[in-house]
Amino acid sequence: MSNHVETPAPPAIRRKPWGTSVGLRLAWSFARRKPLGAFGGVIVIVLLVMAAFAPWIAPYHYDDSVLKARLKPPGGEFWLGTDNLGRDLFSRIVYGARVSAIVGFAAVLLAISLATLVGVTSPYFGGKYDIGVQRVVDAWQSFPYLVIILSFLAVLGPGVLNLIVAIGVLAASAASRVIRGATLAVMNNTYVEAARAIGCGHGRIIVRHILPNVMATIIVLATILLGGVILAESALSFLGFGVPPPFPSWGGMLSGSGRSYMLQAPWMALWPGVAISLAVFGFNMLGDALRDVLDPRLRGAGGGLR
């Protein structure tokens, strides 16, 4: 008879999902080290939620006129008041977030795509190509941006697509200079020379060795550009070259009835202005914090997350 006694197997250890714990820890570290950046991130999330779920958040459609509710002050049924046509301002602010988000993200995507193409290929190939491209960028930046956009929209006419193209192409010129500087710094590293020495092609070197190392600069630049694009869209809508009515735009709300009824119903101009200010502030603070976190040169000064 054997005296061998089987030892029970140790209980299985239940591990928390890696992504959830690490994500929460990084978010908490980011909020603790960059409180203004975290506050800006909250504003950005609120803006995106409003844009995505506007029909469920807004109590009214953006163009619905409520009977006998003309120029109602904030409070009660209408949290932010009503305009001269009896439309709920809170609903129009919520739907206006969708307009700003669509124009902002689409224009920044176009601008970053063009800027990355120019900013990476220009220093990589160098020579006459680099000189010629940079002279075109210099000439493009020498004109006042408002004159270029207004001329562009005057030819093509107002509209969401034309507005996105005008702002995106204009923003690409300045962004390409920033990406070009980051690319020049990356090209001085030995791994780029090693990739050339073993016979890697231009496309492989750019995609595998240069783009990943300038991606942090591109992300930060895109975040900061979003605030400027939203402000530019609001300014153009204020001048009548932005999103055409009846779609609600924060700048258009300031320009039309908001300016006409400023003394009689100041809330009509107050809330669109607050929405524009908060959106620009949120993206700028988030972009500034991401720059400190993602820039390796600032990590020694407490910029990175630990």
pLDDT 10s digits, 209-238: 888 888 888 988 898 899 889 998 888 888
The distance between the two most distant Cα atoms of the chain, rounded to a whole number of Å, is 102
For residues 122 and 214, the answer to whether their CB atoms sit within 8 Å is no
- Amino acid 257: pLDDT: 72
Backbone φ, ψ for residue 230 (5° rounding): -65, -40
* Cα–Cα distance for residue pair 196/206, rounded to 1 Å: 11
- Amino acid 302: pLDDT: 42
Does a structural domain hold residue 13?
no
For residues 246 and 63, the answer to whether their CB atoms sit within 8 Å is yes
Does a structural domain hold residue 259?
yes
Q: What is the mean pLDDT of residues 70-79?
A: 83
Q: How far is CA 164 from the centre of its chain?
A: 13
* Cα–Cα distance for residue pair 164/243, rounded to 1 Å: 10
Rounded to the nearest integer, the mean pLDDT of the chain is 82
DSSP state of 242: S
What's the domain count of the chain?
1
Checking if the pLDDT of 279 tops 80, the result is yes
Does a structural domain hold residue 82?
yes
Checking if the pLDDT of 300 tops 70, the result is no
Does a structural domain hold residue 45?
yes
- Amino acid 107: pLDDT: 93
Does a structural domain hold residue 132?
yes
What is the amino acid identity at position 132? G
Q: What secondary structure does DSSP assign to 38-78, as a single string?
A: HHHHHHHHHHHHHHHTHHHH-SS-TTPPPTT-TTPPSBTTB
Tokens of 156: 């093509």
The residue range of the domain holding 99 is 32-58+77-187+214-300
Checking if the pLDDT of 157 tops 80, the result is no
For residues 229 and 222, the answer to whether their CB atoms sit within 8 Å is no
Does a structural domain hold residue 281?
yes
The CATH number for 136's domain is: 1.10.3720.10
Q: Is 240 exposed, middle or buried (0-12, 13-18, 19+ CB in 10 A)?
A: middle
Q: What angle do CA 112, 113, 118 make, to 5 degrees?
A: 95
Checking if the pLDDT of 133 tops 60, the result is yes
For the range 20-24, what are the long-range contacts, defined as Cβ-Cβ under 8 Å and sequence gap of 24 or more?
Answer: none
CB neighbour list of residue 238: distance below 8 Å, 6 or more residues apart: 251, 252, 254, 255
For residues 140 and 78, the answer to whether their CB atoms sit within 8 Å is no
The reported pTM is 0.82
* Cα–Cα distance for residue pair 43/51, rounded to 1 Å: 12
Does a structural domain hold residue 172?
yes
Window from 44-48, 118-122, 143-147 with minimum mean pLDDT:
143-147
Does a structural domain hold residue 11?
no
Q: What is the mean pLDDT of residues 67-89?
A: 83
Q: How many residues comprise the chain? A: 306
